[in-house]
Amino acid sequence: MLLEVEHVTVRFGGLTALADVSVQVDEGEVVGVIGPNGAGKTTLFNVVCGFVRPGQGELRWRGAVLRRHRPHQLADLGIARTLQGLGLFPHMTVLENVLVGAGRHSRAWFGSGLFALPRSDRDDRALRERALATLDRLGVADAARSLPGQLPYGAQKRVALARALVAEPALVLLDEPASGLSASEMDELADIVRGLKQHTSVLLVEHHMDLVMAVCDRIVVLDFGRCIATGTPEQVRDDPKVLEAYLGEQVDATTQEVADD
């Protein structure tokens, strides 16, 4: 198992954000996390990323317990995350933004350049080729020299995804990747996410249920910080507890959207 979140509980004062929640992600798997407003989805992501410490439970990465890991250590572990917004640097080119996400590769490149080591030019070229190849894979390589603000919003979302993928993580956490996209752009995103399984595992938080149902191998449903269901998209869609959590409304595989954290 790649990532294991085991019996995690998080409390903020008198509020229990997560209560005995367990989530697993295996190699080559897309796992979705859904739930109504305030369900604890963002808190779960923040626990995985080291922004929030659970009061109980533990995380295991490739079988080893993660103890007090910090967000800056994620790249070295092989974990990347996109943000709910874009998080792009407006005064840096698309290529430069993606290079920022290269993690340990970019740090090696920076050290070589700083001390004028002979391999710095070679490392620079290799890193740029990696970044351009990632942009090309997502269909935005032509925009490499543009500023993010010069691109349509959907293209900017792809640049943000490229920045997460350039370090070739074993796991990428996608936080609302479909927000702000048109129907056609969401179809293209679904193809991209399905294709990611050849290279990386995915943990996905999303409120567009049509996307979740289309791309996920398994879905975990949170409600008021508790896991109320887990299973395949078909199993989750027909689970009475899930329907009740969404105010008794049928979860439709093609049109329904639910509120996120």
Q: Is residue 216 part of a domain?
A: yes
Here the tokens at position 52 are 């929030």
Q: pLDDT confidence of 114, banded at 50, 70, 90?
A: very low
Q: With contact defined as beta carbons under 8 Å apart, do 94 and 143 qualify?
A: yes
Does the pLDDT at position 237 exceed 80?
Answer: yes
Q: Is residue 198 part of a domain?
A: yes
Are 159 and 41 within one domain?
A: no
Are 222 and 237 within one domain?
A: yes
Q: State residue 254's pLDDT score.
A: 40
Q: What is the number of structural domains in the chain?
A: 2
Are 47 and 31 within one domain?
A: yes
Are 180 and 63 within one domain?
A: yes
Q: State residue 255's pLDDT score.
A: 39
Are 219 and 150 within one domain?
A: no
Q: State residue 103's pLDDT score.
A: 57
Here the tokens at position 164 are 């997460």
Are 109 and 42 within one domain?
A: no
Are 203 and 217 within one domain?
A: yes
Average pLDDT of the chain is 86
Q: State residue 111's pLDDT score.
A: 46
Residues 6 or more apart in contact with residue 255 via CB below 8 angstroms: 209, 210
Are 111 and 190 within one domain?
A: no
Provide the residue range defining the domain that includes 53.
Answer: 1-78+169-261
Q: State residue 253's pLDDT score.
A: 42
Are 74 and 188 within one domain?
A: yes
Cα atoms in the Cβ-side hemisphere of radius 13 Å centred on 40: 28
Are 155 and 177 within one domain?
A: no
DSSP characters over 190-224? HHHHHHHTTT-EEEEE-SBHHHHHHH-SEEEEEET
Q: Is residue 34 part of a domain?
A: yes
Write down which residue in 167, 190, 212 finishes a domain: 167
Are 163 and 237 within one domain?
A: no
The predicted-structure confidence for 238-259, as pLDDT tens digits, reads as follows: 888 888 876 454 444 443 444 4
Q: State residue 104's pLDDT score.
A: 53
The predicted-structure confidence for 142-171, as pLDDT tens digits, reads as follows: 999 999 999 999 999 999 999 999 989 999
Average pLDDT estimate for 113-133: 71
Write down which residue in 120, 152, 167 finishes a domain: 167
Average pLDDT estimate for 107-112: 48
Q: Which of 132, 127, 176, 182 shows the shortest CA–CA distance to 154?
A: 182
Average pLDDT estimate for 207-231: 93
Are 173 and 251 within one domain?
A: yes
Q: State residue 37's pLDDT score.
A: 82
Q: Is residue 120 part of a domain?
A: yes
Q: Is residue 256 part of a domain?
A: yes
* Rounded distance between C-alpha atoms, residue 213 and residue 57, angstroms: 29
Q: pLDDT confidence of 72, banded at 50, 70, 90?
A: confident
Q: State residue 257's pLDDT score.
A: 44
Q: State residue 228's pLDDT score.
A: 94
Q: Is residue 83 part of a domain?
A: no
Q: Is residue 253 part of a domain?
A: yes
Write down which residue in 112, 133, 167 finishes a domain: 167
Q: Is residue 114 part of a domain?
A: yes
Q: pLDDT confidence of 109, banded at 50, 70, 90?
A: very low
Q: What is the CATH number of the domain that holds 26?
A: 3.40.50.300
The predicted-structure confidence for 15-63, as pLDDT tens digits, reads as follows: 999 999 999 999 999 999 999 888 999 999 999 999 999 999 999 999 9
